[in-house]
């Protein structure tokens, strides 16, 4: 019999009930709707939960990504977000980026520009996959090499010898011993300080900041070192890797890192006690989560989609759809409102969003710039907060992916267009303009 961790479902119950549940759990969420066994702390509490008005997506559930059928010209087929910038991979295998360009987009105007308000061609071709985090973006090319650009605060650009700096960097090939590294079929940039890349052989490589164990056991004599590209050295025997992610800082928060395995498990490691059950450099499977299709991370929280349901935990409950500041340290089931299963999660420092399999999007968190996508008539006061997941009612398209930056959210829409809403202070809406207003209604990014 499989052992399951205690998982509680977040719903719309009064806060008092939530506090009562938190006395029995270690999760960072808010209003709760108790399952039949939750009050007894049963290990199977949320595993068999029934979602009011929705479906139990668990059996069967296909969490694979939805591909884009291009009808737009140009056509976007992949969308990612960093701290405050967005990048899109187009059907022609080029990359365009926009938003806050300080460090993140390389030497725009000599590195002095702080905003790119329309998608900017990054001079890349033959790109088959992209990933972004913080102020760094990496692209995997058709020849199996990886090029990275932007900030290098934790050796995210894989310099050899390893180094850290505060300069903007244009795209450059990841190398080792003077030669280009190839044979990669995926790259994943963490929120800050770490990058993971998978070889076609299945071997996992990594580079970046390992001062807080984010890259696991060091490949050098000490832990306090920036690391260049090299094989991940503490992967559990027999574990195939789908993708990885993480964040590493020299702050007291520490590091959080994860990988999704080929058999649908989520492994986590690092030093952040609020999010890691067994702090240390060894990846350990997160109990209670199976068939994981997506995971995302910030310095405080991890969220994952497993069996079509969203789970979040870590150090900030209010920013993980829980309506409370309590900080659960093990997975809490977050109730989605739609009838479809959850498929992909994206998190920023102020918001969490999930894409459902029917193409709708639900978000929680801050709404100061309209990033929850609620109708302007319902906006109320400017400084607003959405404590629980709610549909982005102003978005009426069919989302293939959702990408969350600090105060702006964008969706890749089926057909190949991108729609964004929220802050436009650095041109994140891709309209060729800058402003400080709320934008709760999505607008289509201008690629032409």
| Structure tokens, 200 | 């076609």
What's the CA gap between 324 and 319, in Å, rounded? 9
Is 197 part of a structural domain of the chain? yes
Give CA–CA dist 266/258, Å, rounded: 7
Tell which residue, 406, 304, 313, has the closest CA to residue 351: 406
Residue 221: CB atoms within 10 A of its CB come to 6
Who's near 395: CB < 8 A, 6+ residues apart? 360, 361, 373, 411, 419, 421, 442
**What count of other Cβ atoms lies within 10 Å of the Cβ of residue 325?**
12
What is residue 223's predicted lDDT score, i.e. its pLDDT?
Answer: 66
For the four alpha carbons of 214, 345, 313 and 268, in that order, the dihedral sign comes to: negative
Separation CA 89–CA 174 (nearest Å): 19
Which structural domain range is residue 388 located in? 63-444
CB within 8 A of 135, min separation 6: which ones?
82, 83, 85, 102, 103, 104, 150, 151, 153
Give the number of other CB atoms < 10 A from CB of residue 178. 6
Tokens of 132: 């972004």
Cα–Cα distance list, 296 to 234, 240, 268, 299, 386 (Å): 21, 19, 12, 11, 19
For 247-288, the pLDDT digits (tens) are: 988 777 789 999 999 999 999 999 988 888 889 899 999 999
The pLDDT score that the predictor gives to residue 45 is: 31
Distances (CA, A) of 410 to 10, 241, 283, 427, 447: 25, 27, 32, 12, 14
Domain of 329, CATH number, reads 2.130.10.30
CA gap 111, 127 in Å, rounded = 24
User: Does residue 286 lie in a domain region?
Assistant: yes
**Is 10 inside a domain boundary?**
no
The pLDDT assigned to 417 comes to 98
Q: Closest Cα partner for 273 from 258, 244, 253?
A: 253
Residue 378 is classified by DSSP as: G
Q: What is the DSSP letter of 62?
A: -
Size of the chain, expressed as the number of residues it contains: 448
Q: 11 lies in a domain?
A: no
Cβ contacts of residue 10 below 8 Å, gap of 6+? 18, 29, 30, 31, 32, 33, 321, 322, 323, 332, 333, 334, 335, 388
Q: Which residue reads 């994981």 in tokens? A: 292
Residue 202 lies in a domain: yes
Total tally of structural domains belonging to the chain = 1
Token readout for 220 is: 């050098």
| N-terminal to C-terminal alpha carbon distance within the chain | 56
Residue 234 burial class via C-beta count within 10 angstroms: exposed 0-12, middle 13-18, buried 19 and up: middle
Q: Report the number of secondary-structure helices (H) and strands (E) in the chain.
A: 1, 31
* Mean pLDDT (10-residue bins), the chain, 448 residues: 42 32 31 28 30 46 93 98 97 98 90 90 98 97 98 93 92 95 97 95 92 81 81 88 90 88 95 89 94 93 95 85 80 93 96 97 94 71 78 97 97 98 97 96 95
Domain assignment present for residue 26? The answer is no
Does residue 39 fall inside a structural domain?
Answer: no
Q: 252: which strand partners?
A: none
Element holding 294 (H helix, E strand): strand 292-297
Residue 40 lies in a domain: no
- Beta bridge partners, 32, equal 10
Exposure on the CB side of residue 314, measured as CA atoms within 13 A: 29
């Amino acid at each position: 019999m499989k052992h399951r961790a205690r998982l509680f479902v977040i719903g719309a119950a009064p806060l008092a009930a939530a506090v009562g549940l938190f006395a029995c759990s270690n999760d960072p969420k808010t209003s709760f709707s108790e399952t039949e066994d939750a009050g007894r702390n049963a290990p199977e509490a949320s595993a068999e939960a029934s979602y009011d008005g929705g479906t139990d997506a668990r059996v069967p559930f296909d969490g694979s990504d939805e591909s884009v059928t291009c009808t737009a010209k140009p056509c976007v087929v992949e969308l990612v977000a960093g701290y405050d910038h967005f990048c899109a991979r187009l059907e022609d295998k080029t990359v365009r980026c926009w938003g806050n360009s300080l460090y993140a987009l390389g030497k725009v105007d000599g590195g002095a520009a702080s905003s790119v308000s329309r998608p900017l061609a990054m001079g890349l071709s033959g790109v088959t996959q992209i990933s972004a985090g913080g102020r760094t973006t990496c692209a995997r090319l058709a020849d199996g090499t990886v090029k990275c650009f932007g900030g290098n605060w934790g050796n995210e650009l894989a310099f050899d010898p390893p180094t850290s700096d505060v300069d903007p960097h244009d795209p450059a090939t990841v190398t080792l011993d003077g030669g280009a590294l190839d044979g990669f079929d995926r790259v994943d940039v963490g929120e800050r300080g770490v990058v993971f890349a998978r070889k076609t052989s299945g071997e996992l490589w990594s580079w970046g900041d390992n001062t807080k164990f984010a890259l696991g056991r060091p490949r050098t004599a000490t832990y306090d070192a920036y690391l260049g590209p090299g094989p991940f050295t503490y992967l559990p025997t027999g574990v195939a890797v789908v993708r990885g992610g993480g964040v590493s800082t020299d702050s007291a928060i520490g590091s959080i890192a994860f990988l999704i395995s080929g058999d649908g498990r989520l492994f986590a490691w690092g030093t952040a006690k609020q999010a890691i059950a067994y702090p240390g450099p060894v990846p350990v499977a997160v109990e209670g989560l199976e068939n994981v299709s997506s995971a995302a991370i910030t310095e405080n929280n991890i969220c994952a989609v497993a069996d079509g349901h969203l789970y979040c935990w870590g150090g900030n409950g209010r920013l993980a759809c829980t309506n409370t500041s309590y900080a659960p340290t093990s997975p809490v089931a977050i109730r989605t409102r739609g009838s479809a299963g959850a498929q992909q999660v994206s998190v920023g420092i102020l918001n969490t969003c999930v894409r459902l399999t029917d193409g709708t999007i639900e978000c929680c968190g801050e709404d100061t710039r309209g990033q929850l996508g609620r109708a302007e008539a319902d906006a109320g006061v400017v400084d607003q907060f959405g404590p629980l997941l709610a549909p982005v009612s102003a978005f009426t398209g069919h989302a293939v992916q959702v990408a969350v930056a600090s105060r702006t959210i964008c969706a890749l829409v089926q057909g190949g267009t991108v729609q964004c809403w929220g802050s436009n202070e650095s041109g994140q809406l891709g309209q060729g303009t800058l402003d400080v207003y709320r934008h709760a209604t999505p607008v289509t990014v201008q690629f032409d």
